[in-house]
Amino acid sequence: MLTASQIVFERYFEPVFEPVDFELKSGELLLVTGANGCGKTTLIRVLAGILHPTSGSIDLQAAGMAYVGHYLGIKDDLSVLENLRFMRDFLGTSGTSCEELISEVGLTRVVEQQARTLSAGQRKRCALARLLVSQAQLWLLDEPYSNLDQEGVELVDRLLDNHLGAGGACVLATHGAHRPEWGGTIDYHLVSGAAA
Amino acid sequence: MNAEAVNGSLSRAFFALLRRDLLLAFRRRTELLFPVIFLLVVVSLFPLGIGPGPQLLARIAPGVIWIAALLATVISLDALFRSDFEDGTMEQFVISGHPLTLIALAKILAHWLVAGLPIVLMSPLLALWMNLPTESLGVMILTLAIGTPILSLIGSIGVGLTISLKRGGQLLSLLVFPLYVPILIIATAAVMAASDSLPYTQFLGLLTAGLITSVTLAPFAAAAALKISLS
């Protein structure tokens, strides 16, 4: 579904990480680990197409891509429901019921509240609901466990199980406090380019 | 997917974004009203500053109203992409696979409806304050109706280029004011010609040509600028 060959990304003529090579198939999870500052976020942003690799190539064969990064892309002045409805209309995935997805991520109680009143963990859950709205085959998750309580961490794992079980794929970057339990997990240890 | 389905999904995305931006603008009313109030205050200061001589005011009216419109537009421009850029929504737009040009066009249209259209609607009042002859009032409104969308369109390129800078707003004004000069010259020339009972349609034609050119080219340039700012 996603093949990366010899991806290099340079910032100010310094490679951010060592060349990245992997092949991700349907039903597989690529777990990117590494120290702070080794380029996990940069790699995810390169895979997402926000940044362009300096060299190497990315071959993407997925129906849709969804991304949850450090900036969640939730509008403070819209309610949880309005945020999701906008994304649904914008992406054109009309078959999904936003209310059901909101209850799945446990935000039913705050559905009409403006997003500015939500806690960091609730905002993260709202962003996770957007993953489901997108109906994308490939998920790119950058530190999805941060800010979440124990129940929220379990929620991420459950969503991942469902997604991967249904033939999706996921690239997940984490500094390693918690790791998801999934059979088809490929471990990828990212090494900072400056170390070389 | 066939071409019709793609077109349908693109137009749905366009209108979803337009509706969201208008909703957001009405949720933040202070941001919505500030440029209009700024416009009214700037224009009302001129009679106080240079004395209420009717002939003098009528002479400078087109220039004053148009300069105030430029200032009011530049004030509101920075908000065009900033909030989407800072909260990560722009990244979501890029990943969605929809062309960034279309997204830029929807946001520019929303910006004009919120910041440009009120200027057009206020212009009869401004013209009255500045003692603009009634025969040139219609031309004044027309130049603003054709000209303010050009201001939003050209401004969007500047916003795209300066959005990743912390204090981009200050640089933005230096960047876009020179580009606004031709519009200011043509628009005020049209109104002055109408005041003097001279032909003015050639100026309106030039303005319309400018509008057509900027509608077709500016969204591409703004999208390219946004892509540079994102990386």
pLDDT in tens, A7-49: 999 888 888 888 888 999 888 999 998 888 888 899 999 999 8
CA gap B117, B121 in Å, rounded: 6
Nearby residues of A59 by Cβ (< 8 Å), 6 or more positions away: A2, A3, A4, A5
For residue A71, give the chain B residue with the closest CA.
Answer: B88
pLDDT in tens, B47-73: 899 887 888 999 999 999 999 999 999
CATH number of domain containing A171: 3.40.50.300
pLDDT at B155: 95
Smallest Cα distance from A21 to chain B, Å: 22
pLDDT at B2: 64
pLDDT at B53: 87
CA gap B39, B122 in Å, rounded: 9
CA gap B110, B25 in Å, rounded: 9
- Residue where one domain finishes, among candidates A86, A107, A135: A135
A60 contact B CB<8A: no
Q: Which residues from B are below 8 Å from A78, CB to CB?
A: 20, 23-24, 27
pLDDT in tens, B116-134: 999 999 999 999 999 899 8
Same domain, A86 and A101: yes
B12 contact A CB<8A: yes
Same domain, A50 and A92: no
* Residue B13: band (very low, low, confident or very high) from pLDDT cuts 50, 70, 90: very high
Same domain, A2 and A86: no
Q: Under an 8 A CB cutoff, do A91 and B231 touch? A: no
Mean pLDDT of B208-221: 96
Mean pLDDT of B172-181: 93
| SS3 state of residue A2 | strand
Mean pLDDT of A136-162: 90
- Residue where one domain finishes, among candidates A135, A155, A178: A135
Mean pLDDT of A97-107: 88
Smallest Cα distance from B92 to chain A, Å: 7
B94 contact A CB<8A: yes
Running DSSP on this structure, what letter comes out for residue A192? Answer: B
The whole-chain average pLDDT of chain A stands at 88
B135 contact A CB<8A: no
pLDDT at B20: 95
> Which two three-digit tokens encode residue A189?
């240890």
The strand order across the sheet containing A2-8 reads A20-24, A2-8, A55-60
Same domain, A127 and A155: no
Q: Where are the alpha helices (DSSP H) in chain A?
A: 40-48, 80-91, 98-104, 120-134, 150-165
Same domain, A45 and A1: yes
Whether the complex's predicted ipTM surpasses the cut of 0.95: no
B9 contact A CB<8A: yes
pLDDT in tens, B74-87: 999 988 998 899 99
Mean pLDDT of B104-124: 95
Smallest Cα distance from A188 to chain B, Å: 23
> Which two three-digit tokens encode residue A82?
């309005």
Q: Under an 8 A CB cutoff, do A77 and B27 touch? A: yes
Same domain, A148 and A159: yes
B92 contact A CB<8A: yes
pLDDT at A95: 73
For residue B227, give the chain A residue with the closest CA.
Answer: A50
Smallest Cα distance from A90 to chain B, Å: 4
Nearby residues of B65 by Cβ (< 8 Å), 6 or more positions away: B43, B123, B126, B127, B130, B132, B140, B144
Stated as kind and residue range, the H or E segment containing A21 is: strand A20-24
A11 bridge partner residues: A14
pLDDT in tens, B22-53: 999 999 888 888 999 999 999 999 989 988 78
Q: Which residues from A are below 8 Å from B27, CB to CB?
A: 77-78
- Residue where one domain finishes, among candidates A105, A135, A165: A135
Amino acid identity at A60: L
Q: Which residues from A are below 8 Å from B89, CB to CB?
A: 73-75
| SS3 state of residue A22 | strand
* Residue A191: band (very low, low, confident or very high) from pLDDT cuts 50, 70, 90: confident
DSSP A35-62: -TTSSHHHHHHHHHTSS--SEEEEEE--
Number of domains in chain A: 2
pTM: 0.92
pLDDT at B176: 94
Mean pLDDT of B173-201: 94
Domain holding A176, by residue range, is 1-64+137-196
Same domain, A56 and A141: yes
Q: Under an 8 A CB cutoff, do A75 and B9 touch? A: no
pLDDT in tens, A131-145: 999 889 999 999 988
**CB of B156 within 8 A of CB of B104?**
yes
The pLDDT of residue A177 is above 80: no
Nearest residue, CB atoms, B16 vs list A45, A74, A89: A89
For residue A66, give the chain B residue with the closest CA.
Answer: B95
Smallest Cα distance from A184 to chain B, Å: 25
Best A75, A124, A141 residue to mutate vs chain B (most B CBs within 10 Å) = A75
pLDDT at A195: 53
CA gap A72, B92 in Å, rounded: 9
Same domain, A141 and A131: no
Distance of CA A190 to the CA centre of its chain: 17
The pLDDT of residue B179 is above 90: yes
Nearest residue, CB atoms, A73 vs list B8, B23, B89: B89
A170 bridge partner residues: A29, A139
Task: Based on DSSP, count helices (H) and strands (E) in chain A, helices before strands.
Answer: 5, 10
Q: Which residues from A are below 8 Å from B23, CB to CB?
A: 78, 82
Same domain, A42 and A89: no
Number of Cβ pairs < 8 A linking chain A and chain B: 72
Nearby residues of A71 by Cβ (< 8 Å), 6 or more positions away: B86, B87, B88, B91
pLDDT at A80: 93
Stated as kind and residue range, the H or E segment containing B120 is: helix B117-129
The pLDDT of residue B97 is above 90: no
> Which two three-digit tokens encode residue A121?
């963990």
pLDDT in tens, B144-159: 999 999 999 999 999 9
Same domain, A106 and A24: no
